[in-house]
């Protein structure tokens, strides 16, 4: 179980994001995801990726603590759907403009380009609006939550969030730069429509069927 808090680093004099990850009852696979997230955060350095500051294992409480950069406005989804509505009560148009979405999109793409330019490329595998963080004061977007990310040369089971998952992942467990770009497209769809992808699907089976139906390769196999 992961809990996130806003904390203050009294040594550096800055706000930070404190992630408290309890290891009680978690599987080895889940534990390895948390360790993987720390290792990847340590290895990357880009203005559009959440900055890593510190981490440690708390043996007494059996937990991992990860300290990262604080993004005061939360995720872009929280900002676009909740924050703007609360402060724009007297503004007729209560949606994020296309110009703002374009600016955010360029920053997300720059972050993805950085991950994909590593040798071997780092594939995020779980890009979604709730993993994209914003500092609204400076209109800065940063990609976070690298728990499922891995280098492209590593085999891994199917992982991620179904609504943002490319059809080829379900079809043949293929992860590459293109699958991250597909997820990016679904993020754009959600920001523009203000609805989660495939919101019309009533259950998981309907969702799976809808995703697979848009993959020409899957259709040709039937």
**Torsion sign, CA atoms 133, 194, 82, 104:** positive
DSSP string, 55-91: EEEETTTTEEEEEEE--TT-BHHHIIIIIHHHH-TT-
Note the CATH architecture for domain 2-69.
2-Layer Sandwich (3.30)
Residues of the chain with CATH 3.30.200.20: 2-69
For residues 130 and 196, give the distance between their C-alpha atoms in angstroms, rounded to a whole number.
11
145 is catalytic: yes
Q: What is the pLDDT of residues 78-90, one digit of tens each?
A: 887 665 555 555 4
- Mean of the per-residue pLDDT values for the chain? 86
For residues 17 and 42, give the distance between their C-alpha atoms in angstroms, rounded to a whole number.
15
For residues 80 and 139, give the distance between their C-alpha atoms in angstroms, rounded to a whole number.
12
Q: What is the pLDDT of residues 5-24, one digit of tens each?
A: 889 999 999 999 999 999 98
Q: State phi, psi for 91 to the nearest 5 degrees.
A: -105, 130
Q: What is the pLDDT of residues 19-68, one digit of tens each?
A: 999 998 888 888 888 888 899 999 999 999 999 999 999 999 999 999 99
Catalytic residue among 54, 119, 145, 171: 145
The class level of CATH for 76-221 reads mainly alpha
Residues of the chain with CATH 1.10.510.10: 76-221
């Amino acid at each position: 179980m992961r809990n996130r808090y806003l904390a203050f680093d009294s040594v550096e004099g800055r706000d930070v994001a404190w992630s408290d990850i309890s290891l009680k009852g978690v599987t080895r696979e889940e534990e390895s995801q948390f360790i993987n997230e720390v290792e990847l955060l340590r290895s990357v350095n880009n203005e559009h990726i959440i900055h890593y500051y510190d981490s440690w294992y708390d043996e007494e409480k059996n937990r991992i603590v990860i300290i990262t950069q604080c993004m005061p406005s939360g995720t872009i989804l929280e900002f676009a759907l909740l924050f703007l509505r609360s402060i724009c009560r007297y503004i007729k148009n209560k949606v994020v403009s296309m110009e703002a979405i374009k600016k955010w999109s360029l920053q997300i793409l720059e972050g993805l380009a950085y991950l994909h330019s590593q040798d071997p490329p780092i594939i995020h595998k779980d890009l979604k609006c709730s993993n994209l963080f914003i500092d609204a004061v400076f209109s800065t977007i940063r990609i976070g939550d690298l728990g499922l990310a891995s280098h492209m040369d590593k085999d891994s089971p199917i992982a991620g969030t179904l609504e943002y998952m490319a059809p080829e992942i379900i079809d043949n467990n293929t992860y590459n730069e293109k699958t991250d770009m597909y997820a990016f497209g679904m993020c754009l769809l959600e920001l523009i429509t203000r609805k989660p992808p495939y919101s019309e699907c009533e259950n998981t089976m309907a969702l799976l069927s809808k995703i697979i139906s848009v993959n020409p390769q899957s259709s040709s196999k039937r």
